[in-house]
Structure 1
């Protein structure tokens, strides 16, 4: 299986930068830097000790540009200042899981060509498609998820865009110490294709995601799948004060490559939000369907930013064998500017989780968020409470987070 090491990727992009310089074009260099400090507290029934994680993550690098070409290299480090938690890799799970292990790694190492209607990117990069339900960066976790890939973004006509990537390695959130089912990187021949068209009703996207988790240690190849579907996302303003936002999605997934399971499962989503001068209320219904009720024969999203969906308590990162139906309703307030603060968000969401088959009520969850930006620093406070019925255990999670970037 084709692989690129971190050292080789850094050498490659460095060599390309030198080639651009040799052509005599002007090179501009932009520093890239960001930092995060986060405290996460977890109290879960069935685990006597509580989890407390205070982590500091720093990323630094640079982007060099010359005409249509650019090279970006970013390294990152994640340090656990308070490590009273199970990070998923080290020690026994005597405390709740907080999936932020310590790490030092090459985060981004990419070469990019950008011209009118064409963007080509090669190397280690972030890929986030649509709402990140199926393919995303998992940006909430400290180590995040990147891809060793080649990607082409083409806009051959107004309102039409084609986005195709070939990924040979998925760099996971588990970092350099990743092993067994939680590997540092997962190899495979992944193809991510996305074709979107702007229509009067919104952006209509057709997609094909061929996910090849070609590692025996990762669920014995059972996360390899082929997913085909469509998504419509749009909005309409009614005067200056009222805006209606909607999205709908449907997909069908089945086994692919070396997956030993023979299954087929359906996904669909309907979501509507009403915005009244910054006050928002909305709700939706998302279904990750089941097939036979056997493990990993339900609809799976191993490359998605799953923290964004089905509650922040992370009870459904792997879809249960009987699938999951998520009915949710929420509301809040958002303002671009409020005094000295910008990007102010207040939000509350309630979820009811049920199975797709066998008529099980898994549980309910409440999520609360307050965040704002002060100059270059974003401060966020989150809370999640999961009330278990037929799946997992009651859990409370609290996050206090500061993000800073140049």
Structure 2
């Protein structure tokens, strides 16, 4: 099955390269039509080590498509395929009896074999206005609330209409979506795609040195098994950069939001979200730290089911679903760019530490160390990552290792 899928994906790759290149050569700029191939290949090895469970995955992901632009309009089509060259892992963190890729005797690595239409969108772009209709990638701000989950091999996209516009110092961003196409692919059963009525709204502006944004996210899910994630969230984010010495600046960011039940959510709750973080550079090292709280109310933790969750609360992914008692994450990180190492352009390293506790109940969940090393070899980005979660009163000890290479045209 893996070999058949690999052949199918490579076939799509070659078709797109040849077709897109030929069309671009034929049209040129004489009639204003421009065609750009879209190619993105990634191979990754991931190992998970847990008590009485483990997993190994070697997956290859290919996205292939093209974007045709004429005047203010463009049409984009992109297919996505993932092949599992080593499949000793459970592709789904939920029960799917009878599905070949559901292997509960292994740890979860959420990169199922899959081939699908990833994006198909029509876009209008003028001076300060963008309108996008169709299946599209949506990454809002830091992706804490809505993102494409780009770390996983299969991308999350949305069937939606989105409008972006600026009037003077004010920028507005409004999306109405009817489908959330998840990372679980075509074999993900009822979680392949989630239907509903979803509104993402943002209004941002700069006041002196402070950048501010008001946001609202209204999630109304149709599926009975997912109604508990229907919610309304309203919040504010502020950020600024403060000079503290001749060559030293500190970036500051704070965010608050209030989330409560919405539509047919069977739970009655209202929980707070807080985050504070700061970062600076000293002696060539990047220093950062922060604190994030996903609150709890009436036994229900604040949830962000559309977020790029791997970016937050540790790379071991123990908190993809917020525990009923909420979550507090205090973290620090140290990073360095090694610009003088010419043999490895872009060489960089990061080490981070997280302390996880509950919002209510005074529970110490555990702690985690994360580390990464990245560089480029020509157009290929190489990345190694490590995560080590030490459980105390939540989850289980989890250690993960990733080795990855990615090429983007």
Give your verdict on TM over 0.5.
yes
- 1:27 and 1:123 map into 2 onto residues whose CA distance is 21
Deviation at 1:241, TM superposition (A): 3.6
Equivalent in the alignment of 1:213: 221
Report SS of the residue matched to 1:285: strand
Matched, 1:381 2:384: yes
Deviations 1:43-98 (A, max 9, x none): 01242xx2000000001110100111111111011000000001115233101000
Equivalent in the alignment of 1:11: none
Deviation at 1:237, TM superposition (A): 4.6
Deviation at 1:336, TM superposition (A): 6.1
Aligned partners of 1:242 and 1:274 also within 8 Å: yes
- 2:83 and 2:103 map into 1 onto residues whose CA distance is 20
Task: Identify if the C-alpha distance between structure 1 residues 277 and 71 changes in structure 2 by more than 3 Å, giving closer, same or farther.
Answer: farther
Task: Identify if the C-alpha distance between structure 1 residues 83 and 121 changes in structure 2 by more than 3 Å, giving closer, same or farther.
Answer: same
The one of 26, 45, 48 aligned to 2:51: 45
Equivalent in the alignment of 1:200: 208
Matched, 1:179 2:189: yes
- 1:340 and 1:31 map into 2 onto residues whose CA distance is 30
- 1:195 and 1:136 map into 2 onto residues whose CA distance is 18
Number of residue pairs matched by the alignment: 375
Deviation at 1:238, TM superposition (A): 5.3
The one of 123, 127, 138 aligned to 1:116: 127
Q: Which runs of 5+ in 1 are unaligned?
A: 1-20
Aligned partners of 2:381 and 2:406 also within 8 Å: yes
- 1:249 and 1:91 map into 2 onto residues whose CA distance is 38
- 1:65 and 1:238 map into 2 onto residues whose CA distance is 46
What is the CA RMSD across the aligned residues, in angstroms?
1.7
Q: Which runs of 5+ in 2 are unaligned?
A: 1-26
Equivalences for residues 221-240 of structure 1 within 5 A: 221-237=227-243
Task: Identify if the C-alpha distance between structure 1 residues 94 and 127 changes in structure 2 by more than 3 Å, giving closer, same or farther.
Answer: same
Deviation at 1:214, TM superposition (A): 1.7
Deviations 1:258-302 (A, max 9, x none): 101110000000001111364111211100000022xxx211000
**TM, length-normalised to structure 1:** 0.89
Equivalent in the alignment of 2:37: 31
**TM, length-normalised to structure 2:** 0.88
Deviations 1:91-140 (A, max 9, x none): 33101000000000011111110011100000011111110000111000
Equivalent in the alignment of 2:70: 66
Equivalent in the alignment of 1:4: none
Equivalent in the alignment of 1:368: 371
Equivalent in the alignment of 2:105: 94
Equivalent in the alignment of 1:147: 158
Aligned partners of 1:57 and 1:142 also within 8 Å: yes
- 1:129 and 1:30 map into 2 onto residues whose CA distance is 25
- 2:79 and 2:119 map into 1 onto residues whose CA distance is 7
Q: Which 10-residue stretch deviates more, 261-270 or 369-378?
A: 369-378
Task: Identify if the C-alpha distance between structure 1 residues 315 and 262 changes in structure 2 by more than 3 Å, giving closer, same or farther.
Answer: same
Equivalent in the alignment of 1:12: none
